[in-house]
Structure 1
Amino acid sequence: MTILLLLLVVIQPSFGLLMPLSLPIICGTTTIGGTGSTCSSSRLSCDNSNKSNSNRILLSTTTTTTTLYNSNQNKKEEEEEEKKSTVPLSSIFSEDDISNFCKGTNAFWKGLVIEPVRNYVEIRPAGTTTGDIFSKLISPPEVPGIPRPVWFTILGSVPTGLGWYGYYKFSVEEELFQHELQTNKDGHVSGCGGYGTLFPFVYAIIIGFPLSLLHIPGGELILQSAGIWILAGQVNLYRRVNELCFEDESIRNEILGGGGLLRGNKEDDDKDSNDDQPLQPPLHAWWALLPPPLDVVVGLRQVHFLSEYWRVVRGEPYDKDVIAEELFPFISSKRFTLKEFIRKPSNWFWFTKSWKDFDNVDLLKD
């Protein structure tokens, strides 16, 4: 009986307080309606003399339940007030704050670069650079950005001992910075551009390395700060590339849906188990924090997908990247987990395409 009354009161406490005993009460196996009839069972005997006791029980139960209800309501209100008084981290730094920081950082470090260099690397409209491969290698940044495929990036980086890669890093960051300025309706940016991303790192290395070499206090701290800064920039770059690939449905389908992604990567009768899954952003941004060679894996994928994005935006024809799509298919394949990467040698190199995957290894299953 108490359980029935509790349910009734919880559903409508105010109604329960005013409710007379004209509703049926179940006693054992016989029902009484509060009109004077009696019932009996092996566990409970009910008669007219118990009517006042039932009233007291009902009122006591109702009062207790109502008190608990009000207590819970007060507790919920206190929790809501506590949530309101707790400011989430995302609201501390608004989009305006982040954009202003990035713009200020870019402007500050740009001011430390000598004018001839600034003039040479000044952003230019798309299509300004024409000519041979060498002209493209030394070309200033453009908006929309210049497509730089993996084979092209390797061609510039390896002979120069990764020296050209520094220029690549500057160029792609500055292109994204200027692209955001021109396309964001509020003029917001989410990166520090080529100046704000690369030059803090360069200056920190120039200053910190000799200090560390001479065991002067502060040298190690400067070098560590340089490493943290450039890694944070890489993670942010990968995040932005993911967003770019998903900013427009036609671009997403062209880059990730097979238009430019898996051409020549698989035989027609070789269906990937992930082909029917929804499209995902191509990069795991946090892989930038992994040790080599896994950080190189995501770095090469960033080069490929950013190049494909600029190609589609500029309306340039598809040109197969042999390095990314034939020799090292993992660069252009759909996004994969660490375990997937290890258990699928068919996605490693051109000479492992015919190797069987390690799908029967439980340790490598997701």
Structure 2
Amino acid sequence: MSDQPLGTPRPLWRVILLSLLTGLAYYGWYKWVIQDELKRYTGKDWSGAVCLLPFGLGIAVPQLLRLYDPDVPGWFGWFSLAGIIWIYIVQFRLYCTVNALYRQAGLQAPLTLRWLFVPGLNLLVGLRQIHFLSQYWAMKRGETVGDPITDRLPLFFSQVGL
């Protein structure tokens, strides 16, 4: 891979707790930072800015124009779907990257990509991504990172599980 610094392991319990306490602001920061870490590490992934700014603008701009400009028709808000589609593309690429890192380490790819498009399962694969990326960084550092959530739900978070 790269001689660049490794990413930081961030256990699932901490990402969930801080995201809830900050009204998901921490989750946005988490997404930005992990994308930057992966870009530095692989040399080819998208940065946090490339991943999140189009999403935020794609959601916010059509809604703000619709609300504050009387000449913009109400249906214009539907253009926010572009931001939603963008974040699905970003998530798909992220999951592919995590799977590729595991395969390059001689391990089984942990994420099922098709789950991204199944309501309910998309949340589970997202939680698995947080867990397995944290585990990957810990493994590369020669560390272990415990997580009370994943320890209590081995069916959902085992390497060869779902």
TM-score normalised to structure 2 length: 0.86
The equivalent residue for 1:313 is 140
Asked if the contact 2:135–2:145 (Cα under 8 Å) also holds between the matched residues in 1, the reply is: no
The equivalent residue for 1:248 is 105
Q: What secondary structure sits across from 1:192 in the alignment?
A: coil
Cα 1:205–1:158 change in 2 (3 A) is same
1:173-192 maps to which residues of 2 (within 5 A)?
Answer: 173-181=35-43, 189=44, 191-192=45-46
1:1-366 maps to which residues of 2 (within 5 A)?
Answer: 143-181=5-43, 189=44, 191-213=45-67, 216-217=72-73, 219-249=76-106, 252=107, 280-291=108-119, 293-316=120-143, 318-326=144-152, 328-333=153-158, 334-336=160-162
In structure 2, C-alpha distance between the alignment counterparts of 1:230 and 1:220, rounded to whole Å: 17
Question: What's the CA shift for 1:230?
Answer: 0.5
Higher helix share: 2
Question: What's the CA shift for 1:204?
Answer: 2.0
Structure 1 runs of 4+ aligned residues shifted over 6 Å read: none
In structure 1, C-alpha distance between the alignment counterparts of 2:121 and 2:154, rounded to whole Å: 15
Q: What amino acid is the match of 2:26?
A: W
Q: What secondary structure sits across from 1:223 in the alignment?
A: helix
Q: What amino acid is the match of 2:112?
A: H
What are the ranges of 5 or more consecutive residues in structure 1 without an aligned counterpart? 1-124, 127-142, 182-188, 253-279, 337-366
Q: What secondary structure sits across from 1:228 in the alignment?
A: helix
The alignment-based identity, stated in percent, is 37
In structure 2, C-alpha distance between the alignment counterparts of 1:198 and 1:331, rounded to whole Å: 27
Asked if the contact 1:174–1:193 (Cα under 8 Å) also holds between the matched residues in 2, the reply is: yes
Q: What amino acid is the match of 1:144?
A: L
Question: What's the CA shift for 1:212?
Answer: 3.6
Q: Which has the higher contact order (CA 8 A, sep 6+)?
A: 2
Asked if the contact 1:236–1:285 (Cα under 8 Å) also holds between the matched residues in 2, the reply is: no
| Number of aligned positions between the proteins | 156
RMSD: 2.1
Question: What's the CA shift for 1:331?
Answer: 3.5
In structure 2, C-alpha distance between the alignment counterparts of 1:213 and 1:288, rounded to whole Å: 31
Question: What's the CA shift for 1:307?
Answer: 0.3
Structure 1, residues 52-95: CA drift from partner, whole Å, max 9, x if none? xxxxxxxxxxxxxxxxxxxxxxxxxxxxxxxxxxxxxxxxxxxx
Question: What's the CA shift for 1:179?
Answer: 0.8
Task: Give the greater-gyration-radius structure (CA).
Answer: 1
In structure 2, C-alpha distance between the alignment counterparts of 1:192 and 1:319, rounded to whole Å: 26
In structure 1, C-alpha distance between the alignment counterparts of 2:33 and 2:155, rounded to whole Å: 25
Asked if the contact 2:55–2:84 (Cα under 8 Å) also holds between the matched residues in 1, the reply is: yes
Question: What's the CA shift for 1:231?
Answer: 0.7
Question: What's the CA shift for 1:221?
Answer: 4.5
Q: What amino acid is the match of 2:113?
A: A
Asked if the contact 1:288–1:298 (Cα under 8 Å) also holds between the matched residues in 2, the reply is: yes
